[in-house]
Amino acid sequence: MSLYTLSLHDIQIISVMLNIALFGPPGAGKGTQSKMLLEKYNLAYIATGDILRKEIAEGTKIGKAAKDIIEKGGLVSDELIVQIIEKYIESNYQYNGFLFDGFPRTFVQAYILEGLLLKFHTSLTCMISLEVPKNVLITRLSERSKTSDRADDSPEVIKTRLEEYDNKTAPVAEFYKDKKIYFPLDGIGKVEDVFARIDLTIERMLEKKWFNLVLFGYPGAGKGTQAKRLAEEYNMVYISTGDMLRQEIAKKTEIGQKVQPFMEKGLIVPDEIAIKLIEFKIKTSTKTRGFIYKGFPRTLVQAYILDGLLRKQNSSVNHVIHFDIPTLEAIKRLSARSKTSTARNYDTTTDMIIQRMDEFETITSPVANYYQKQGKFTTINGANAEDVVYQDIKAVVDKAIRFAR
């Protein structure tokens, strides 16, 4: 299967995956821990060493090319490794993520993995390094050589492999330290104890992952009311571009002066202004579980923009909830709001309200199709009572959060 045959839904599944690189010298216990990680997190196992040994055993073209190098404890070419990894990703995207064992093993391969995962619209969640003293490693590998029948476990090759690790592979740690996703863990102790350390690290990383929710629907559908309740209960930040723009107008800032004519008519403000406000809100929001977006994206272009904004933060839109209400109900709600202190300028006349309904149908509706194709779009009945709507939303959000993890 080629990447180009994957649907947008398939790509979205890939983009929220848990991708782990298990790092450490030969004999650190990566294989043993990998089996436990695969079972708990339902990951696809990409162990380049195992794959290459299988190719050698089957006498394939790749196996013959790699045989001499592996038996001497060297590293096969990056081109060969990339072919193998890409094939595995393409054929195993139905898993919750990927566990890489034995890759990346060089600084160059770290860059290769970044680019390869980017091609599949995903990234490495964390690199976990099992730290084991060299004398323990030699003992473990020597014992394994008695039963493994692996040519690369001979005394001469053990020495070469450990030297190879020290000279070429250890510097990879610096690459991931800079990205703040490198976690060295004590690899000594019972298998269960080592796994508990790994598991705790992964759980903490998952807790740090943002959950990003977009509330979608007609003006007057009740998105703002529900967003505030959700933000409080789930420790999320509510981002309403409309509210932020109105604040700029009230403060008479330069941005406020630019957008006031647009806001008075209920028109979409220039995208560059919305981008600045959203980026600032994201950067200044700390200790949050994620963000709830209301009023953005209103166009297909803005959907692409939001993807780009979140990609910069190693995140993505996780789910979109559509508040489905009849057009007439939306008009009634906006007309009623026009008589309150929360009235908007564009609520004051029926003509302007109808204009906003038309804009939603012609300009904003394609956004729904964009997210539907990615398999992260749910419609609820927004015409129900407020508390009923909230419970429906919570059910969707709870499920989406579990999926995102």
Q: Could you read off the pLDDT of 126-147 as tens digits, one per residue?
A: 999 999 998 888 888 887 766 6
pLDDT of residue 9: 44
The answer to whether residue 151 scores a pLDDT higher than 80 is: no
Q: Residue ranges of the domains in the chain?
A: 3-208, 211-404
User: What local confidence, expressed as pLDDT, does residue 163 receive?
Assistant: 84
Place of tokens 């979109």: 320
- DSSP letter at 94 equals T
Closest C-alpha among 44, 52, 127 to residue 83: 52
List the CATH code of the domain at 211-404: 3.40.50.300
Per residue in 80-132, pLDDT (tens digit) is 888 888 877 887 777 888 999 878 988 889 999 999 888 887 889 899 999 99
pLDDT mean over 160-170: 80
Question: Which residue matches tokens 């919305």?
Answer: 274
Mean pLDDT of the chain: 85
User: Angle at CA 8, nearest 5°, toward 321 and 214?
Assistant: 20
CA separation for the pair 247, 114 (Å, rounded): 40
Token pair for 349: 């006349």
Residue 150 pLDDT: 59
Domain 3-208 indexed as CATH 3.40.50.300? yes
The answer to whether 46 and 88 have CB atoms below 8 angstroms apart is: yes
pLDDT digit string (tens) for 263-277?
887 778 889 999 999
Note whether 153 and 145 are within 8 A (CB).
yes
Characterize 35-67 residue by residue with b for buried, 16 or more Cβ atoms within 10 angstroms of its Cβ, and e for exposed. Answer: eebeeebebbbbbbbebbbebbeeeeebbeebb
What is the C-alpha separation between 191 and 215, in angstroms, rounded? 45
Query: In this structure, are residues 326 and 381 in contact, taking their beta carbons and an 8 Å threshold?
Result: no
Q: In whole angstroms, what is the distance from residue 9 CA to residue 370 CA?
A: 10
Whether the per-residue pLDDT at 395 is higher than 80: the answer is: yes
**What is the per-residue pLDDT for 316?**
86
211-404 shares the fold of 3-208: yes
Whole-number Å distance between alpha carbons of 9 and 128: 29
What number is the average pLDDT over the span 387-393?
96
Mean pLDDT to the nearest integer, 305-323:
88
Q: pLDDT by residue (tens digit) across 4-59?
A: 344 444 444 444 578 999 998 888 888 899 999 999 988 999 988 787 777 788 88
